[in-house]
Structure 1
Amino acid sequence: MDSNQKNVLHGSFRARTRVIPDYSDDPPVAPGAVLGFFTYHSDTEESDLEILTYDPTTNIRYSNQPDEDTETGNTIPGASTDAVLPNNKVWTDWHDHRLDWFDGMSRWYIDDELALEKTKNVPTKPSGLILNLWSDGGEWSGNMTVGAEVIAGFEWVEMVFNISGTNPSKRDQAACNVGCNVDGVQEVGVPEVAFDSMSSDSTSDDSTNDDSTNDDSTNADSTSNDSTSSNSLSSGSSAMVAGGVVDQVAAVVVVQVLAFWALFFFGSN
């Protein structure tokens, strides 16, 4: 899956997913495939969450690209981490994975628990979001036995993001009057109004900090619900395509799959 929106510049990207185990004793999933969830502008402007099925089911690769020096072939320190998931979690179970991309920092979460953050080689260019499952028999993915298969399941995908340029475009109004929460809501992908300065019974601006996707509400490039941000966002929804602009608060793009399974067959000698 590849988002139509390619001008995303900072945001929070979430997906509930897992690699489906085949319930064999060892290994639980055929080795040789890669499940990717990442922002992408180019091979040197990319922020990755990757599950390699030859890795232990407790490990996920988090990285900002480039993570290798093309001249020396050496790994760039701080750009990539083979991380052990907290609390004995495994990627064969359903989990909510999240990548927050800020100006100068990438953060990865699992089930709302911070797993890792990086400041090395954080992307700076407008990007899209990609989810894929692949194998090429190469050194990175590893070799998959002919006839083997790997299955990935997705329940939903959510994007909350800033944009660079148009589509969707911002309103011409001088300020935004409405703030929304996207975390802690009753239904994933459906923002809830946190405040409306034009309404007499609106809640206070302080409430917008409780469920922000950025701990620093003063960050002008964050996906925070702070309506004073110089890069406040637009609200809308569709299936992987940004929808109509409602208010400059949070752009929310949701794929509510629930009954969707991605089945991929791979094989190489």
Structure 2
Amino acid sequence: MSIRRTSTLSLMAMGAVGVSAFTASNAGVKNGCFWNVDGLGSFNTQWSIAEFTTSTLSSVQDELSASSYTVEAGNSPLARRFDITNIGISSDNALTLTVPGGQSTGPISSAQITTAYSDILFGSVRTVAMVSGAAGTTHGFTFYANDNQEVDFAFLSSDPSVVHLTNEQVNSTSPFSTYTVSAPSDATSAYHEYRLDWTADATRFYIDGALVHTITENVPSQQGFWLWNSWSNGNAWAQGPPATNSVLKIKSIDAYFNRTSIVPSGSCLSSSSNNNAAAAASSTSTTPTYTPAPTATNTKLCPKYDGTVYTATNGDLFQIACGTDFAGGDFKMVWVNSMGACIEACSSTDGCVDVSMSGTACYMKNKLKNALKNSGVNGAKKISA
């Protein structure tokens, strides 16, 4: 896979399979430290993936991560699990996200990739994809910070004739903002461009370069990450699981982001890699004496107990980091009702070294990659065992 930090998107010449006369959106134009996107403004980060190949798939770890964790069933009939083995490359050099057919018990093996960072605040992302015609899965091109800060560009393979566009409710009293528009008639047999623009005032959805809908309600205001997935859990939304393999094919991605950890420097753009390295180094430094945090799992720990240490039932120590997302290393997700319960879940899970909690979703991590500020996420890192 080739990722180029350039101002243009080079779409591969497509073979006989999946030919479609779609019109791609205009590429952003590099201007100094930024990329200008028509009608939106400027963004400090850009990357393109124009070709997926087996030999270069590992080269995208700085931009993309393959998910490997379980989402418990909750109120759905079945749990789902994102497995790296379901991510592949097709004969026409598209990334494939597969939900294997014939599964009847959970967790349902699914597939997902995400950006390797969760400090995105506004962006324009264009995904050229072909959706599955095998009923029983959901495909999503999504921005996500938490359950109340989420934008979905989604297909249901049970009815690929429509696309579902959603800004999730920012609170329980806000209006619903889910809409449907017609999908391309050949969405399951040809590639098309699906573009999501997110700015402070609205989310805008494009198909093949044409604006199809704008949502001004429930616009996210917190930083988060982008994801692409294909999954099933047997609920009324996703239906399924699919009887046969359900394959989402992604031909290319062209992304423009504002990342909050990117700052101007003498070399024009400098990521927070040095800061992140320092944060990672500090996480392994000698532990000083900390103020203890309450250990009752129903106690609200953030923001009051930021920087204090939680002692888990088994004696493991975790330093609380309110407003911090420990990005990378996801390997399991559970639903919990408090930060303390999230920490206890990590403490009792082999390999878990830190957690990030968003809403009631507790993401367990097996490594500390980046510590990023995010007001919608609270974290905790293990400092002794």
Displacement of 1:116 = 0.7
Distance 2:163 2:179 in 1: 8
1-side partners of 2:178 and 2:115: how far apart?
Answer: 24
2:161 to 53, 58, 63: 58
2:205 counterpart (101, 108, 113): 108
User: Shift of residue 45 of structure 1?
Assistant: 0.3
For residue 119 of structure 1, the aligned residue among 210, 216, 232 is 216
Residues 1:155 and 2:258 are matched in the alignment: no
Residue 220 of structure 1 corresponds to none
Superposed displacement of residue 172, structure 1: 5.9
CA contact (8 A) 1:30 1:144 kept: no
1:157: Cα distance to partner? 1.2
Find the partner of 1:2 among 110, 114, 135: 114
- Give the CA deviation at 1:121: 0.3
Contact 1:15–1:96, Cα closer than 8 Å, also in 2: yes
Distance 1:76 1:137 in 2: 26
Task: With the length of structure 2 as denominator, give the TM-score of the two structures.
Answer: 0.38
Correspondences of 1:148-227 after superposition (within 5 Å)? 148-164=244-260, 166=261, 168-171=262-265
After superposition, the CA RMSD in angstroms is 2.3
Amino acid at match of 2:175: I
**Cα distance in 2, alignment partners of residues 61 and 91 from structure 1:** 14
| Aligned: 1:15 with 2:134 | no
Q: Which amino acid aligns with 1:59?
A: V
2:135 alignment partner in structure 1? 31
Counterparts of residues 71-150 of structure 1 (less than 5 Å)? 76-77=175-176, 79-85=177-183, 89-92=185-188, 93-145=190-242, 147-150=243-246
User: Aligned partners of 1:39, 1:15: CA distance in 2, in Å?
Assistant: 13
Structure 1's unaligned 5+ residue stretches are: 21-28, 177-269
* Corresponding residue for residue 354 of structure 2: none
- What whole-Å deviation, never above 9, does each CA across 1:157-207 have from its counterpart, x for those lacking one? 12101122x2x332269x99xxxxxxxxxxxxxxxxxxxxxxxxxxxxxxx
The answer to whether 1:49 aligns with 2:153 is yes
Query: How many matched pairs?
Result: 156
Letter in 2 for 1:133: S
1:136 to 1:127, Cα distance in 2 relative to 1, 3 A: same
State the AA in 1 paired with 2:207.
I
1:114 aligned partner, one-letter code = L
From the superposition, tell whether residues 7 and 141 of structure 1 become closer, same or farther in structure 2 (CA, over 3 Å). same
**CA distance in 2: counterparts of 1:70 and 1:31, whole angstroms:** 31
Q: Looking at secondary structure, tell me which structure has more helix per residue.
A: 2
Instruction: Measure, in 1, the Cα distance between the counterparts of 2:251 and 2:162.
Output: 21
Amino acid paired to 2:244: A
Q: Secondary structure at the match of 1:115?
A: strand
Larger radius of gyration: 2
TM-score of the aligned structures, taking structure 1 as reference length:
0.53
Query: How far apart are the structure 1 equivalents of 2:126 and 2:156?
Result: 19
Amino acid at match of 1:63: T
Describe the superposition over 1:230-268 as per-residue Cα deviations: whole angstroms up to 9, x where unpaired: xxxxxxxxxxxxxxxxxxxxxxxxxxxxxxxxxxxxxxx
Quote the offset at 1:5 in angstroms: 2.1
Query: Do 1:59 and 1:90's aligned partners in 2 also have CA atoms closer than 8 Å?
Result: no
SS of equivalent residue, structure 1 residue 140:
coil
2:249 partner amino acid: G
Runs ≥4 in structure 1, deviation > 6 angstroms?
none
Q: For 1:163 and 1:80, how far apart are their aligned partners in 2?
A: 27
Unaligned runs of 5+ in 2: 1-112, 270-385
The structure showing larger relative contact order (alpha-carbon pairs under 8 Å, at least 6 residues apart) is 1
State the identity %. Answer: 24
Aligned residues of 1:33 and 1:144 also touching (Cα < 8 A): yes
Letter in 2 for 1:171: S
